[in-house]
Amino acid sequence: MIVDIEEFAEFIKSRGGTVSVREAQRSMRRLRTAHDAEKALGEIVKAGLAEWVTLPTNKQGHVSRGVKLLNGSIEQKIETVCSFEAIEKTLYELARKIDEIHRVEGGTEYRDDCILFLKQLTDKLDEWRVSE
Per-residue pLDDT at 70: 84
3 state SS of 14: helix
Task: Report residue 26's pLDDT band, with 50, 70 and 90 as the boundaries.
Answer: very high
| 93-111 pLDDT per residue, tens | 777 777 776 666 666 666 6
Query: Which tens digit of pLDDT belongs to each residue from 60-84?
Result: 777 789 999 887 655 556 666 666 6
Residue 91 confidence class, pLDDT cut points 50, 70, 90: confident
Report the distance separating Cα 75 and Cα 9, nearest Å: 9
In this prediction the pTM is 0.54
